[in-house]
Amino acid sequence: MSQPALGVRSLDLTDPATFVDNDPHEFWREVRAASPVYWHDSGEHRPGFWVVSRHADVQALYHLDALSSERGNVLDVVLRGDDSAGGTMLAVTDPPRHGRMRELLRTAFTPRVLADVVEKVRARTTALITAVVDAGTFDFATQVADQIPMNTICDLLSIPAEDRPDLLRWNKMALSSDHADASELDALEARNEILLYFMDVAQERRSMPGDDVISMLATAELDGKPLTLDEIAVNCYSLILGGDETSRLSAICAVLALVEHPGQWTALKSGEVSLNSAVEEVLRWATPGMHLARTALRDVELHDVTMRRGDIVTLWNISANNDETVFAEPRRFDLSRSPNKHLSFGNGPHYCLGAFLGRAELRALLSALVAGVGRMELAGKPHPIYSNFLTGYDSLPVQFGH
């Protein structure tokens, strides 16, 4: 088995604290240069896995049908065994069923269908930013970022307002924590709560359908059969996880990056750089979903390494998005960067269905900041989340002024 080349400091990629206690970008720079594909041991009670770090390799493997998602697409899950949602949740389903299921869900994510949801995003974001300008120190993470993506997905799913705080709380626990010693049981319980909630809602919408995504799923057929309540619940769970966590963390990262790079804030504020270009750089810079996992269905050769059938293969977006061969000076925050071929939404057949909505949320935030904020200042130390899948902060004390 391939190991990291001599000189590359080994980090435990299964430990959430690794990404808080170390500079991951320095680690990935060394890995890309010396060991672009290497074997990571996980100890005697868990399988090891392959680590793929270069942009070209990660992008190519996203398109490779020899790599399966059905065992799971997040490292923690696949190391514990098969994902219980494999073959039923879109994100962990392989062709040909994946294509048919994706087409079913795709109709709910076209720009035309999402027009009303996007307009609500703009209005909600503007109101949230207006409320905190000249209001003294506030936590951007909890008072603004928490309120946008979860409410957006809940609008799409027609979730009652009174249920949304519980969904946000469970969602935060499902894939990350605000402290280093969180237990796997806490995350498992949070995921179960989300699934049970959506099974109840799916049953209600099947009896009394409305004009929303859950009703569409509850009344649709796939391969000539109605979706089961389990199938509806796991796909709603996937939409909540994907639509909330990554967008929320990207928004927090956007504000922190603008505070830390005042020249870029000035360029954005003055119109020197476009909102669309800024959105893409924020997505690259943040890379909230650090990796995705796959399982080899047959032997795969890459850089003179053979990834054997049954091996776990991890594709590290956080490294690919900072690959010097694709992005000049990758650790320079440059809102005018072009081209910007980041992999923050993945690539290939599993490219994120919610990419349009995620971009719309970031564009609404940056637009509201430009229109309503004159100065942004850090007012305390950002608090990082602990996860080996997500990266970012759950607290960002700031002050906004005119």
Both structure tokens of 363: 């564009």
- Residue 65, helix vs strand vs coil: coil
Enter the DSSP assignment of 227. P
Phi/psi at 306 (nearest 5 deg)?
-105, 115
- pLDDT tens profile 344-375: 999 999 999 999 999 999 999 999 999 999 99
Q: Is the Cβ–Cβ distance between 389 and 76 less than 8 Å?
A: yes
DSSP string of 342-392, one letter each residue: --TT--GGG--TTHHHHHHHHHHHHHHHHHH-SEEEE-S--EE-B-SSB-S
- Residue 197, helix vs strand vs coil: helix
- pLDDT tens profile 208-267: 998 889 999 999 999 899 999 999 999 998 888 778 888 999 999 999 999 999 999 999
Cα(151)–Cα(301) distance, integer angstroms: 44
Which residues, including other chains, have CB under 8 Å from residue 224's CB and lie 6 or more apart? none
Q: For residue 40, list its beta bridge partners.
A: 49
User: Does pTM top 0.75 for this prediction?
Assistant: yes
Residue with tokens 């795969």: 300
Q: What is the mean pLDDT of residues 381-396?
A: 95
Q: What is the pLDDT of residue 107?
A: 85
Domains in the chain, CATH or no CATH each: 18-401 (1.10.630.10)
Q: What is the pLDDT of residue 6?
A: 45
Q: Is the Cβ–Cβ distance between 342 and 334 less than 8 Å?
A: no
